[in-house]
Chains A and B, each alone.
Chain A
Amino acid sequence: MSWYEIKNLQSAAQKEIPCLEFLTLKRQIIEKISEGCRVVQFFGDKIGNEVILYVVLADDEQSKLFTASSIFSGVNSFESITPEVKSFHLFEREFFEQYGIKPEGHPWLKPVRKGIAGISSEENQYEFFKMEGEEVHEVGVGPIHAGIIEPGHFRFSCHGEQIHHLEIEHGFQHRGIEELFLKNKNKLEFLLKLSESIAGDTVIGHAGTFARAIESLGNIDVSRRAIIIRTIALELERIGIHLGDLSALAGDVAYLTGNAAFGAMRTKIINSTMAISGSRFGHGLIAIGGVNYDINDELKEKLTQTLNKLEEDVELAAEVLFSSASVLARFEKTGVVSLETAKDIGLVGPAARACGAALDVRTDHPYDGFTLFPVHKFTLKSGDVFARAYIRYVEIIQSIKIIRELLESPIDGENKKPLNNLSPNQFVVSMSEGWRGEIVHTAITDESGQLKRYKIKDPSFNNWIAVALAVKNNGISDFPLCNKSFNLSYSGFDL
């Protein structure tokens, strides 16, 4: 076997992962991709003078993950996979930036986080694409944006009002998270809190993914109670952000009724998260081995009432929003991403489902509560701002139903189980569906059972390129709307 087959959260002995000649690995990757697999991780681990490259591909239909590796020793280049399989483009750029091993033939070897003009070293500094001609002009936005959002730089090449090309520069948010993971590898509780800050809008998503990776390495069987509470928190996070996004999307097209109505609903939901965990974003809820806070009967009753009211409110507000001609005129056919493009670039999450790519880790690679209660995958076809807004509405209603079902099911077991030592020389992939899409953490332990590599992939890593593609040939004034319809994380990308 030239691939080692695992499942989400199945901890495997590292020595089982086949180590191949790079060209063989490349041939195999292309073969697997043509069979319908997609890449979920592609990262390096430096040991002495050698760099080991790990590749994880997902077969979503069969809930399988395939891993393989290759060693680079004294080699400083390899044959790029991107010309054949586009979705590798950013993974290869990141690998090059981190280890200096060059993917030969890569069409666009732009720095990922370390090429910022005036800050990065000169040989790293990147020059944007230039477009020349009459009435062609450039618009530079950022790193500081007009509103209260994270920093990033956008460079538009426009012809009049029309965007011909958008280049996005990242790296402003780089806080060295993966380095901090290794620096603090003995302090798992610290790392859990650090996971909460990978992206502050995905606290439960990232902390849960980290906790499950560690639980898998430490052979901890989490109680049913903890599983259910975590899943409820994850779905509350999804509802809260989706409501906030609908509010902001309505605000972006100056539809203030929708802006106010969805905004008020969001407050109720994040306050429900606070009722459980003491934090509006769920800080402190997730523990390694379970949860820190319980949901008692009184809270259960309150949550059910809040959700029942919310369901009616959302349905009414969505009916009003999505039947307003002025809203539809702005939402429809704006920022279209085709299914083909989505598959090419490896789009994930609601953005992918909005253009017909049926990907959802909750169904494809179930974990926590989704092993008990299967989730149906909803997709839309149009791939425009409308679809990305409407899929959020659909998912809010779906998440309300999921939480209700979880609240009604019997809860038993303790909140939290004690932590065991992590198994040595193991490899585990922890995937989950955050509100933004697929979160992937990969952990590798050394012979003493300590973390020796921890790789994080936020869904924003897959999806930012889609923003650049979606705005092509749109008016520049539609950019904020397109951007908001994806609502991607800068810090999750920059790590």
Chain B
Amino acid sequence: MFDLLKLRIRHGRQAIPDICKAEVMETFRGFPVIDETKSWNGGAGCKEVCPTGAIEINPLRIDLGKCIFCGECENISDGTIKFSNQYRLGSSRRESLVIASSETFEEFNNTAIEAKKEIHKLFGRSLKLRQVSAGGCNGCELELNAASNVNFDMGRFGIDFVASPRHADGVVITGPISSNMAPALRDAYDSISEPKIVIAVGACAISGGMFADSNQINRKFFDEVPVDLFIPGCPPHPLTFIHALLDYLSAKR
């Protein structure tokens, strides 16, 4: 009994009090800042080391939808590419995820997510999501679980994951969509009643990521169904997910 009380006292309050002010540590690789003035030849080497083809040159740009934030380009770029610890990377437009040379985080953050009035009205106070892992490696899945843990406590914003698609307002997809999961994903999506939203989490879901080249994946689903929200990362930080949703629902308080 005393041990239990001791444990509760030691546990204390773990939840991040104001999630809008939350910061992650310096080492975290988030929004990349590109400064082409630093090195005239940095870009070509960066393109070469990028495992997912996220980097294009002339001018240098990084596609966060493909980027796995491994930091290999930063390691060789002489300061041309620097991953900042800005974790707010979600976007409602696929093209916004392509970060241009000298684009600042503020520029990105101001325009990346288009909050719609009707979305706020429908889901602003309560959003229930069905998660489907379709070839996800368990990285994104662990971070999505973490979003509801005692630290991040996403439930306080009325956002929860539910077991049945019939109870859900949207689907959260992780993984590149393995061919063997494509029909089940489609079934789950079809079982959710309208209106519904689609959220693609992680480089694999957004672009195929490391598996874009595999012939065991089937991404037809994304040709048929538009995505409302893209959450980049490998895996995305729980705060990345929570903030993207709060911005999308205009639910920050």
Residues of A in contact with B (beta carbons under 8 Å apart): 113, 116, 118-119, 143-144, 146-151, 171-177, 179-180, 183-184, 187, 189-190, 193-194, 197-201, 203, 244, 257, 260-261, 263-264, 267, 271, 274-281, 283-284, 292, 313, 316-317, 319-320, 323, 489-491, 494
Contact = CB atoms under 8 A, between A and B. Distances in A.
A284 B68 CA distance: 10
Given A283-B70, A320-B4, A271 B211 contact: no
B7 interface: yes
Nearest to A146: B163
A149 B51 contact: no
Interface string B189-225: 0000000000000001000011101111100000000
A61 to B, nearest CB: 33
Contact of B142 (A113, A180, A201, A292): A201
Interface in B146-191: 146, 149-151, 161, 163, 175-176, 178-181, 183-184, 188
B63 interface: no
Contact of B25 (A264, A275, A319, A323): A275
* Residue with the highest number of chain A CB atoms closer than 10 Å, among B68, B69, B70, B72: B70
The 3 A-B pairs with the shortest beta carbon distances in the complex, nearest first, are: A200-B139, A200-B137, A176-B216
Nearest to A197: B137
* Residue with the highest number of chain A CB atoms closer than 10 Å, among B146, B161, B215, B237: B146
B180 A263 contact: no
28 contacts: A144-B188, A147-B161, A148-B133, A149-B133, A151-B132, A151-B184, A173-B135, A173-B180, A174-B135, A174-B178, A176-B215, A179-B214, A189-B72, A194-B210, A197-B234, A198-B137, A257-B8, A260-B11, A260-B150, A263-B151, A267-B14, A267-B146, A274-B24, A275-B25, A278-B69, A281-B139, A284-B69, A316-B6
Contact of B161 (A116, A148, A194): A148
Contact of A261 (B11, B24, B175): B11
Nearest to B204: A197
B141 interface: yes
Contacts of B175: 173
Contacts, number: 180
Contacts of B136: 150, 173, 200, 491
Given A143-B184, A148-B161, 17 more contacts: A147-B145, A148-B141, A148-B144, A173-B135, A174-B178, A175-B216, A175-B217, A180-B214, A187-B51, A194-B210, A263-B150, A264-B14, A283-B70, A284-B71, A292-B75, A313-B10, A319-B3
Contacts of A276: 27
Given A174-B180, A278-B29, A193 B68 contact: yes
Contacts of B135: 173-175, 491
B49 interface: yes
Contact of A143 (B28, B142, B181, B204): B181
B131 interface: yes
B180 A172 contact: yes
Nearest to B180: A172
B134 interface: yes
Given A147-B163, A264-B11, A491-B138, A189 B51 contact: yes
Contact of B27 (A189, A200, A257, A278): A278
B83 interface: yes
B83 A284 contact: no
B10 A316 contact: yes
Interface in B1-28: 3-4, 6-8, 10-11, 14, 24-25, 27-28
A201 B211 contact: no
B143 interface: yes
Nearest to A317: B7
Interface of B: 3-4, 6-8, 10-11, 14, 24-25, 27-29, 49, 51, 68-72, 75, 83, 131-146, 149-151, 161, 163, 175-176, 178-181, 183-184, 188, 204, 209-211, 213-217, 234-235, 237
A171 B135 CA distance: 10
A201 B214 CA distance: 21
Nearest to A184: B213
A200 B216 contact: no
A5 B56 CA distance: 48
Contact of A320 (B7, B25, B134): B7
A10 B130 CA distance: 47
Given A143-B181, A183-B213, A193-B70, A151 B134 contact: yes
A313 B6 CA distance: 10
* Residue with the highest number of chain A CB atoms closer than 10 Å, among B139, B214, B217: B139
A180 B213 contact: yes
Contact of B139 (A146, A197, A261, A317): A197
Contact of B141 (A146, A149, A267, A283): A149
Contacts of B11: 257, 260-261, 264
A283 B28 CA distance: 11
A494 B180 CA distance: 11
B69 A150 contact: no
B139 A278 contact: no
A479 B142 CA distance: 21
Nearest to B72: A189
Contacts of A176: 211, 214-217
Contacts of A175: 135, 176, 178, 211, 214, 216-217
Contacts of B234: 197, 283
A257 B8 CA distance: 8
Contacts of B178: 172-175, 494
Given A171-B180, A189-B72, A193-B51, A264 B150 contact: yes
Given A263-B149, A283-B68, A292-B75, A150 B141 contact: yes
A112 B210 CA distance: 23
Nearest to A259: B150
Contacts of B143: 280
A187 B68 CA distance: 16
A106 to B, nearest CB: 23
A237 to B, nearest CB: 12
Contacts of A263: 149-151
A234 to B, nearest CB: 17
Contact of B181 (A172, A284, A320): A172
A361 to B, nearest CB: 21
Given A197-B139, A281-B235, A292 B49 contact: no
Nearest to B165: A144
A299 to B, nearest CB: 9
Contacts of A184: 213
A109 to B, nearest CB: 20
B194 to A, nearest CB: 20
A118 B133 contact: no
A16 to B, nearest CB: 34
